[in-house]
A and B are shown apart, each in its own frame.
Chain A
Amino acid sequence: MLLIECPYCGPRDETEYHYGGEAHVPYPEDPFELSDREWAEYLFYRNNPKGLLKERWVHTVGCRRWFNVVRDTASYEITAVYRMGENAPQPGGQ
């Protein structure tokens, strides 16, 4: 069980959240310009690193807000939590 710190509600159990996939995947400026291949890559292709991944979570049963989490996909350690619209904290610095 992960203990995730909601930026608004504080630490809560993983069961209170839902996962939203990788964060910072920008919507294409003009989707009609995209080829089928590019559109498919926007929809379905994601980074799959062994290590730190920026991802989105939503506090479904609490404040219902989306926010970002930096999580190590191997150790499950959460190294940062930040709000929507904010930039990810740089590792090692604030």
Chain B
Amino acid sequence: MAETPTTDLTALRRSPLESLAEAMREGSVTGPRAVALREIPFLAMAGIRVTPGTDAARALCDVVGLELPERVGRVTGSPEATALLWQGPDEYLLVAPDETEVPAGLHERELEPGALPSLSTHPLVARLSSALAASGERGQVVDLSANRTTLELTGPAAREVLEKGCPLDLHPREFAVGEAVSTTLGPVQVLLWRTGEERWRVMPRASFARYTALWLLDAMLEFASPAVA
């Protein structure tokens, strides 16, 4: 090899909300109606399309070590480690901690098309692609890590902030801890994932992230003052 290519890609990337990190810190509200906003950047995400019950589905589940969630709202795994979110009857989203590794052989010149099962820089996603290819069945594993970023909204007033712009019933009797759905927040399509009693993940697409964060900061503003009776 004539030159040594950069292998540490993490030094080059920028999260969609990097420029708003300070605004989100300052915009967080304390007091009895506290609510805080922060970005969880660079979570790995992969779109998985596979028919439940097939060999391909079992092969992918073995690699992740989780079952496929069965219906809308369901999530398997945990937000701190690896999780599978239900997206559709044959569509799932893998969310995993950041891990970046340039696939071996990617820098080889004269690479045949299809020589690598995946161009993903996340080892788990690359393993999933290999497992799906080995199963010989139809399906899809696509690295979508740069598609969405993750906002975390926490605090006693977090649900009230979201209720200002989300058409769903977010009360615990309808929206249990651990559930995740696709819906809208204001005009933006987001994944809404309740990771705790007062802890929500809002995942907008990267190009909508700035708008969504500013929308949330504006919605949080009133909670710094006492409630108007």
Contact = CB atoms under 8 A, between A and B. Distances in A.
Interface of A: 8-10, 12-13, 15-16, 60-65
A64 B88 contact: yes
A62 B183 contact: yes
A10 B168 CA distance: 11
A63 to B, nearest CB: 4
B135 interface: no
Contacts of A8: 71-72, 88-89
Contacts of B89: 8, 63, 65
A64 B86 CA distance: 12
B69 to A, nearest CB: 12
Given A16-B183, A62-B181, A63-B87, 16 more contacts: A8-B71, A8-B89, A12-B183, A13-B167, A15-B184, A16-B167, A16-B184, A60-B189, A61-B183, A62-B72, A62-B183, A63-B72, A63-B91, A64-B88, A65-B88, A65-B89
Interface in B181-225: 181-184, 189
Judged by DSSP, the binding face of A is: loop
Give the interface size class of chain B.
10 to 19
Contacts, number: 35
B167 A9 contact: no
A65 B87 CA distance: 10
Nearest to B182: A62
A61 B189 CA distance: 6
A62 B91 CA distance: 11
B184 A9 contact: no
27 contacts: A8-B71, A8-B72, A8-B88, A8-B89, A9-B72, A9-B181, A12-B168, A12-B183, A13-B167, A16-B183, A16-B184, A60-B189, A61-B182, A61-B183, A61-B184, A61-B189, A62-B72, A62-B182, A63-B72, A63-B87, A63-B88, A63-B89, A63-B91, A63-B182, A64-B91, A65-B88, A65-B89
A65 B72 CA distance: 13
Interface string B62-77: 0000000001100000
Question: What 10 pairs between A and B have smallest CB-CB spacing?
Answer: A63-B88, A13-B167, A61-B189, A9-B72, A62-B182, A61-B184, A8-B89, A61-B182, A65-B88, A61-B183
A15 B187 CA distance: 10
B150 to A, nearest CB: 18
Contact of B167 (A10, A12, A64): A12
Interface in B165-190: 167-168, 181-184, 189
A8 B90 CA distance: 11
A37 B118 CA distance: 49
Contacts of A12: 167-168, 183
Contacts of A60: 189
A6 B120 CA distance: 33
